[in-house]
Amino acid sequence: MAQLFIKIAILMFGGQWQSSLASELGINERTLRRFVAGTSPIPVGIWNELRRRLFNKGVEVQRMHERLTGLLPHTGKIALSPIANTKPDVELDGLYFWLDRPDGKRIRCRASRGIFGDLGAERPNDALPIFEKCSDSFYRAASTKFELGEYDDRIGIFLEPDDVIVMPNDGA
């Protein structure tokens, strides 16, 4: 039993798992060491808590996998379509653009100013050339958030720096 306990702990917390696990479970490290040594039985409540945390971690890992798959070219599909003959609007808080949803409705998207600031854009108008050169990255990011249900029908999709992997469009 202790071996399974250790494997789960390493999977969840890495090589320095003991203090992290003890803290997360609300037990002291001495008690944890007794569990590992087999001198104290591991209570069923601890096993249940580990099971719950493993499940939550699995859900989190799956969601990150889906997000990364959606953001990378050639692995993610772009579910939302750019609207022909439209240009994005540059505002102080970011760049706004509209996309067509699969159901025919349109959804407003905002790429926050922080995304462009991270890429060296000092002024709001500096964002437009970056967007034009890398628009597929923004469309993929918006599509990924849409597919994951991370949007509001009234407000739209907000893209923050950690939502986008900015890469030049194919052929750019």
Confidence bin at 166 (pLDDT 50/70/90)? very high
Q: Residues 99-150: pLDDT tens digits?
A: 999 999 999 999 999 999 999 998 999 999 999 999 999 999 999 999 999 9
The pTM score is: 0.77
- Encode pLDDT of 18-35 as tens digits: 999 999 899 999 999 999
Q: Which of 76, 70, 58 is nearest to 145 (CA)?
A: 70
- Tell me which of 63-67, 103-107, 155-159 is least confident: 63-67
Task: Determine how many CB atoms are found less than 10 A away from the CB of residue 2.
Answer: 13
Which one is the CATH code of 81-163: 3.40.228.10, 3.10.150.10, 2.40.340.10, 3.30.160.140? 3.30.160.140
Q: Write down the domain spans for the chain.
A: 2-71, 81-163
Using CA atoms, how far apart are residues 143 and 69, in angstroms rounded to an integer? 11
pLDDT at residue 134, rounded to an integer: 94
40: helix, strand or coil? coil
